Amino acid sequence: MTLNDRTQNARSIGPFIVAGGGFDSLYRDGMKLVEDAAAYLDSDGRAESKALDRDTSLLYASQSMHLTTRLMQLASWLLLQRAVKEGELTLDQALSEDRRVELSTEMADKSNPVWANLPQQLRDLVDKADSINKRIQALDKMGSEGEMPQEEAANPVNAHLAKLRNAFGGSQAE
């Protein structure tokens, strides 16, 4: 197998990670983060935000809004992929313009001088959202760059390889 063949296989494996076990872990992580963020923002976060100084309070408001928006995008993407996995939608239907979920590529701006003054739990949630967003963007990009030929998809070894690639961040040894 040439380097070009390995590169092509790596680029076309996204839909099969979704179909395999790699998606289940991502789905659980993403949906748990949505729940954790909602619980935090509705309880401890609300109390913590009242104790912040003006500048930090403004950053808190901005970051909580960005976090909520990002998590809704991530949850939408995850739910759409789950619908494909469970056969409720075809891949073509999921990729159609009216269903396509645009993920924000913008990560949290941690260069703000008052970033360190934000509550640790909010910063942790933002970090987790950025991490899951990167994982989803990588899968989404792999899925949009092509599909594995039918004979390769039928091979159960490819499903296991997809799981391994997902577990190790999608990188391959050259």
* Nearest to 139, CA basis, from 65, 93, 67, 80: 80
Q: Does 93 map to a domain?
A: yes
28 lies in a domain? yes
Residue 82 in any domain: the answer is yes
**Predicted confidence band of residue 149 (pLDDT cuts 50, 70, 90):** very low
Residue 35's CATH number:
1.10.8.930
Does 173 map to a domain?
Answer: no
Give 7-51 pLDDT, tens digit per residue: 333 333 445 555 555 778 889 999 999 999 999 999 999 999 999
Residue 56 is encoded by which pair of tokens? Answer: 């930090």
DSSP 103: P
Parent domain of 17:
3-167
Q: Is residue 99 part of a domain?
A: yes
Domain for residue 147, yes or no?
A: yes
Number of domains in the chain: 1
Is there a contact between 64 and 41 (Cβ–Cβ < 8 Å)?
yes
Domain-embedded: residue 120: yes
Judged against a pLDDT cut of 70, whether residue 54 lies above it is answered with: yes
C-alpha 25/C-alpha 30 separation (Å) is 8
Q: Is residue 174 part of a domain?
A: no
